[in-house]
Structure 1
Amino acid sequence: MRQASRLKGGGYLTSTISVVLLGIPALKSAQDDPFMLVCLLAGMILSVTGMAMRWRSHRTSQHRRDREIRTAALNLNENDSH
């Protein structure tokens, strides 16, 4: 499960870096038109924000699953000791 989580995190990080790398050359052509510059920067920010939100959602779900597994194990151990 941890390996899948690391892969997912690596994918989000790779996507974030690609947004920045693709945005760098686009900035040169967009800097002459304020509207295009705002659109480019807003798109980059929204893309990275969306990836961060998806990563946070994944981590929240993972923590919830881990907590449920621990609770089930504790309940099982409690029932076995009675």
Structure 2
Amino acid sequence: MLERRVIVGSSVGLHARPAALFVKAAAAQPVPVTIGVGDGEPVDARSLLSVMGLGARGGDEVVLRADGAEAEAALSALATVIATDHDA
């Protein structure tokens, strides 16, 4: 299992539009991905309610995990989405 730590770039955190963009990108990946905040329980990155329920704020560090042949590419793509401030 590969892991990537990323700082949330959105000023509003993973709420509403940024979360929806992230979930859409996660659903497009060929491997399952989870996301968690700190030592909290990771959730399915394809679930909008679960991702919003994390309460990740701008500047928080999140942990992405994926397993499989395409895991590295999936984590790179999703890290870019999380690190970008889509509200700017």
Instruction: Report the TM range for the smaller structure's normalisation.
Output: 0.3 to 0.5
Larger Rg: 1
Larger % of helix: which?
A: 1
Normalising by structure 2, we get a TM-score of 0.31
